[in-house]
Amino acid sequence: MFMRFFTLALILPAAVAYFGTALAQDAPDSVLRGTKQFSKRVLTSGLTGPWELTWGPDGMLWVTERSGKRITLVNPASGERRVAITIDEVSAPGGQDGLLGLALHPELLKGTGNDYVYAAYTHVDESHGADATIADPKSPYRYLYAKIIRLTYDQTRGILSSPVNIITGLPAGNDHVAGRLKFGPDKKLYLTLGDQGNNQLGNVCLPVESQRLPTQKELDAKDYASYVGKSLRLNPDGSVPKDNPRLDGVVSHVFTYGHRNPQGLDFGPDGTLYSSEHGPKTDDEVNILKGGFNYGWPHVAGLKDNKAYEYARWAEAGTPCAQLRFNDLVIHPSVPRAPESAFKKRFVEPIATLFTVPSGYNFHDPACKGIDYICWPTVGASSVEHYQSKGKGIPGWERVLLVTTLKRGSLYVLPLTANGKAAAGPMSRYFQSENRFRDTAVSPDGQTIYVATDPDGLAEAPGGGTTRRMRDRGAILAFTYTGEGTGAAADDPRPVSEARLPDSDERTSAGGNGMATGILPQFTAAQAAVGKTAYNSNCAVCHGSSMTNGTFGTPLAGEYFRNVWFGRTVRAFYDRAHKTMPPAAPASLPKDSYANIVAYILELNGFKAGDAQLAAGGEALDKMAIR
């Protein structure tokens, strides 16, 4: 496996060099172990999905709570927190939507009258019409859109109020929403939008449109459907800057295109714009964004090297896509595909990838027991922050990028060249823990790095394998530099092949370890068919279309499902689904929908349909055993 770093350049037909150290396939990555020493403090915890973390001009940490719908201010000394506003119209039905990006006006609290704060979030907006790709009229995503609003801050009362719409009708969906929002040194707003997770999992039959550019007709109609897979540049009032790039003859909000899920965005002091982006199974990217340029997705992941990635176009399959089961490891022969080298247009290379592996790499590691994506080379790059020590911060970090990761529960430090235009060496890894790191902020003296963590999800356990028990749930962690190490700050982690199996607490949290006896599950084929539609609308984005290929939730089929649920009652499984799903709004679906979804899951796990319907809870389910 390789960590690769490159100079910023346009891909041309030429050989590409990379640097890095090849490691055994079961090694977690090719980075160096960090040697700086830090103390750790849990500043606060119990936040509902902290997503954006920003140091404000008032000396407070400003936090968006993705599913909590709140903008919260946290005192970096005491951890005391207060809610500045709750935005009730925020809708967060899944794991990647809700209250996302936050940008503070550059003149906030400077006495100019521009005490403004901008927020990006998803909400239900029927005025823009239904998403034609969503068949289920009850789907919470049918009318889901994104918007940016402007709020006014009253420092005396410590509240945000007077919301003003800046732009509405932006695309949003159940996956790859992105949503990072920043003010640039040019006093323009920059926003990232993902590709909506198309061409995979529950959205497999929808084409990726990251390469599609808006037409003048769409722009005039304020139809922003083509903004998926793009970064945007906006005036603070939401209008299109006159000096935005002209792409296919149109000047729109689009700044760059060809992106997958760019969740990280930050400016260097010279105006260089850095972004981090989630890759598929390989090649999370660190990019430098330049207006008007193409970043290659979905034709290329990382470099155009034909390594471990092909662009498979499921929507164009010879066999109707709806009849196929998505599997990006064994692609159905009727699905057209192309190697990266088939893409002939110019595009911008990443300055680093996390991480690249050769073709033929085994993406199914038995240590992860069916949760394969945790063992993939990607790390889940969730944010990026430019850092300079400026002689008073952390020695040796003269110019680096801080990249948080979801899967690895770590902070990666990428050194940059003096001009900030290229990577200057291999990454170092810090703070590895059973957490999902979401975003960072840095104290003005550069000595403390604050890290926001997810309240739940799946991550790599420090000893290898997977865990769903987060160590610091919904927390802000403070890591303060204390000195230099010896060059061996941490032991090498055990190889994944020696890792423990999924946590035994999975069975405990699912309802106990006792073995149930009883009749086999009873459900009808028609019920399972209805359940399939409901599952694809509400569950597939996290658990996967095959229930074993999800990239957020645990598998609901195969070996992992057997380890956790065989020997349990159907009622225990139904109750778990009803009480905890969807994550942002448990028990929000009709009870019959939960019963139908459970029926479909059971059918996919080999249980046979019969004449009796599965009840929506109750004692009848106690008599049925998953065995």
CA 32 to chain centroid: 24
Name the helix (H) or strand (E) containing 573: helix 570-580
Token reading at 230: 């793009």
Q: What's 345's DSSP letter?
A: S
- 277: which residues sit within 8 A by CB, 6+ positions away? 259, 260, 261, 262, 263, 264, 284, 285, 286, 287, 295, 350, 381
Beta bridge partners of 149: 119, 165
- Mapped onto helix, strand or coil, the DSSP state of residue 614 is coil
Name the helix (H) or strand (E) containing 593: helix 591-604
Asked whether 307 and 355 are in contact (CB, 8 A), the reply is: no
Which residue is associated with the tokens 């660190």?
A: 286
Q: How far apart are CA 73 and CA 619, in angstroms?
A: 46
Q: How far apart are CA 582 and CA 202, in angstroms?
A: 15
Query: Catalytic residue among 176, 259, 299, 543, which?
Result: 176
- How would DSSP label each residue in 99-158? EEEEEE-TTTTTTSS--EEEEEEEEE-GGG---TT---TT-TTTTEEEEEEEEEEETTTT
Beta bridge partners of 36: 484
Q: Classify residue 447 as exposed, middle or buried by CB count within 10 Å of its CB (0-12, 13-18, 19+).
A: middle
What's the Rg (C-alpha) of the chain? Answer: 24
Q: How far apart are CA 390 and CA 399, in angstroms?
A: 9
Task: Give the long-range contacts of residues 331-334, CB within 8 A, separation 24 or more.
Answer: none
299 is known as an active-site residue: no
- How would DSSP label each residue in 288-304? EE-TT-B--TTT-SSSS
> Burial letters for 524-561: b for 16+ Cβ neighbours within 10 Å, e otherwise?
beebbebbbbbbbbbbbbbbbbbbbbbbbbbbbbbebb
Other CB atoms within 10 Å distance of the CB of residue 445: 11
Q: Which residues are catalytic?
A: 176
